[in-house]
């Protein structure tokens, strides 16, 4: 089945974001909440998950699982976004207004993934 081009854009965005976890792991480790264990492993694991989910949505047999996985992943990542609002060190130098805008963006991304569930 041929899917809309924007589904492939979504897939590419998640694959590239996942690859970036391996290229710049320290960037992601700086924003990990202190209560989570083994930050480096979690950064690499989340990168693998993003890559896997991005690939899954390109294949009919795995698309729904991948889309629901993306929605769940984005929901879990909200923890990091809220943590980054907790203080200057947690913000990793990102301006507060950007951190605030990232929260509704997560919901937009969830809706984007959900919009493909019934393809």
Residue 100 CA to residue 85 CA, distance in Å, equals: 8
Q: Is the pLDDT of residue 46 over 70?
A: yes
Quote the domain boundaries for residue 85. Answer: 5-114
Tell whether 119 is covered by a domain.
no
**What's the confidence (pLDDT) of residue 31?**
87
HSE-CB at 97 with a 13 A cutoff on CA atoms is 0
Phi, psi (5° rounding) for residue 108? -65, -45
Q: Residue 106, class by beta-carbon neighbours within 10 Å (0-12 exposed, 13-18 middle, 19+ buried)?
A: middle
Residue 105 CA to residue 81 CA, distance in Å, equals: 11
**What's the confidence (pLDDT) of residue 113?**
96
Count up the domains in the chain and report the number: 1
Tell whether 21 is covered by a domain.
yes
pTM for this predicted structure: 0.90
pLDDT tens figures, 55-108: 999 999 999 999 999 999 999 999 999 999 988 888 888 899 999 999 999 999
């Amino acid at each position: 089945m041929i899917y809309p081009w924007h589904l492939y854009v979504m897939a590419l965005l998640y694959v590239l974001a996942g690859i970036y976890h391996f290229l710049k792991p320290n960037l992601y480790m700086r924003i990990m909440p202190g209560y989570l264990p083994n930050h480096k492993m979690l950064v690499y694991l989340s990168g693998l998950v993003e890559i896997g989910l991005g690939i899954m949505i390109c294949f009919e047999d795995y698309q729904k699982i991948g889309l629901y996985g993306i929605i769940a992943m984005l929901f879990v990542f909200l923890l990091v976004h809220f943590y980054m609002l907790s203080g200057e060190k947690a913000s990793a130098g990102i301006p507060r207004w950007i951190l605030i805008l990232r929260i509704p963006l997560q919901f937009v991304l969830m809706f984007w993934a959900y919009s493909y569930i019934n393809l």
